[in-house]
Structure 1
Amino acid sequence: MNVSLSVWLLTVVALCALVAVDFFIGRKPHDVSLREAGTWTIVWVVLACLFGVGLYFYGGGGPTGEFFAGYITEKSLSVDNLFVFVLIMAKFAVPSQYQQRVLMVGVIVALVLRAGFIAAGAAIISAFSWVFYLFGAFLIWTAWKLIQDARKEEHEEEYQENKLLKMAERRFGVADRYHGTKLFITENGKRIMTPMLVVMLAIGSTDVLFALDSIPAIYGLTQDPYIVFTANAFALMGLRQLYFLIGGLLKKLVHLSYGLSIILGFIGVKLVLHALHESGVHVPEISIPFSLGFIVLVLAVTTLTSLRASKKQEQKQKQEQEQEQAEAEAEAEGVA
């Protein structure tokens, strides 16, 4: 799809305006209610759908299908990222009224970082067609690693600070408590970071790792930089509200990692087939409509099986608690 510079500029300006609106609406620290989170989540999803409809009139059904396939994939990967955000918030004991500010800045940092990754990816793909083999192999490896991590239940582990974060803490020092939304304070004549800035750095630097699998994944669905960028942007926007909306539900999505591993593996295979086709090898290519249907089906099945498994686990725990209580009462009666 040929996108003119003016359309690119208009899109970037419109997205910046939406980010600014979102920022000013939530600029005052407060506890985000489920109603507020739900309302804005719906707003962002509707905006993404309207953009997809606009793409249909601008470029036809092909780009529209690529956008929605990329948007759903990136949104799904973003939901998985929320597991890590929960761990980071718990690790640094972020007060509930400040969490929405942390996430807002984290989303902005993520947008900037991914824009850089997308530009680099587009340049590499245009210069070296064989990079699809690398992207495909990397996604298949990532899919396998996700399965291994799910088996080890790594989402239950404590968040570990990366080297960049530790270096910043040693270099500037960190205050022992939060000072509202301030990022720096002066203490004993020395300018030091607040825990608020540390949390923002943690979420921002963590998103670099997230981009390593999300960017190759969407390039497996479309090679159009405009669609890649807008699908990522709309997937990240609303992530802050989604965090508060499904925070409790995240623990119930026990099979999400398995579903994402299937999707990433599927896209990895699609990339390898595309690379073979580009090399002149006669192999079948996977169409966008099939890809979109497959991704939606996997996510639907994963969600249903997750909720069913969580319900069974809750019932089992309830039965065990009742049994322990009965045994304790029987023991107490025996002693009496």
Structure 2
Amino acid sequence: MYNFNGFLQELSSETGIKFNLISQEGMEMFNSLEGIKASQCITTQISLGKQSARLITEIENEKCTSLLKYTIERKYNELYYLKEQLIIDILEGTGVATEVVDNTLPFLLKEATLFLISVEGSLYEALNALKQLYDEESAVTIIYRDSLLMIGSFEEVDEHAKSIKESITSDLFSKCYISYANVPKGTCNLKSAYEDAKECLVIGKKYDIKDQIFDSESMIFEKAVYNISPKAKKELLDRFQSKFSSFDQDIINTIEEFVRCGLNISEAAKKLYIHRNTLIYRLDKISKDTGYDIRDFKQAAIFIIAFLIWKESR
């Protein structure tokens, strides 16, 4: 896979110039200066899109630094920045020419997917990890506001979400949350897909949805609850708060898994690694403590809405 790091390696090898490139966050993007003392080097500021970086070279190659800087900045713009800026312009409502979009972001001519990734760690390290997974032909990945945003055409979207999460958590040892939304054909749909994914990310975190992967299409219920009027939320919270707060973690896990399994006792017991009778005992306890039997659909609907509102309030 050809990427920016591969280009830097080729550049150093073909020119014979050793250099180190460090992001403004202090992340080492490339280094062929190993073993060279700091006193033998000079530092030059360069621009990588809207971000700055430090280019460190040997003093003996000082005359070549300007050309090296120009070459690196140009390649970065070629690979990333033009596409990044075009996506930002679309999201922020800046006028863009359709022909430019079609040529630069051809995947928007067909149905695409937008991933929004929140990382509890360095966004730049996570960005680099994703650029190793996906080349610029299949997806564009940028830092937008306080998250990573990736757009492209994918099959088995859920599997890609899991792969992204696994790559970030295993390589960077960093917790991450991912939401994704469908982008129908056409650039006009990109902004609405972003807003949808952004809302799902907020809701998924507030409701502590398992696996930290949030599919916009499957979160209609949660979005409806999230947008209930404050007055209605307060009424339900007043009725249930003390009851929910008294539950231990086993009961909380039971509620979440039972709901996730579509109120199916056998499946939920299997997922919870408990005997079916143990689950029934817990459901009886929940019914006795709250007055709601969540094995009954109508009672479960009210209970689940109240439960999500309680989780949102914590």
Using the size of structure 1 for normalisation, the TM-score is 0.24
Using the size of structure 2 for normalisation, the TM-score is 0.25
The structure with the largest alpha-carbon Rg is 2
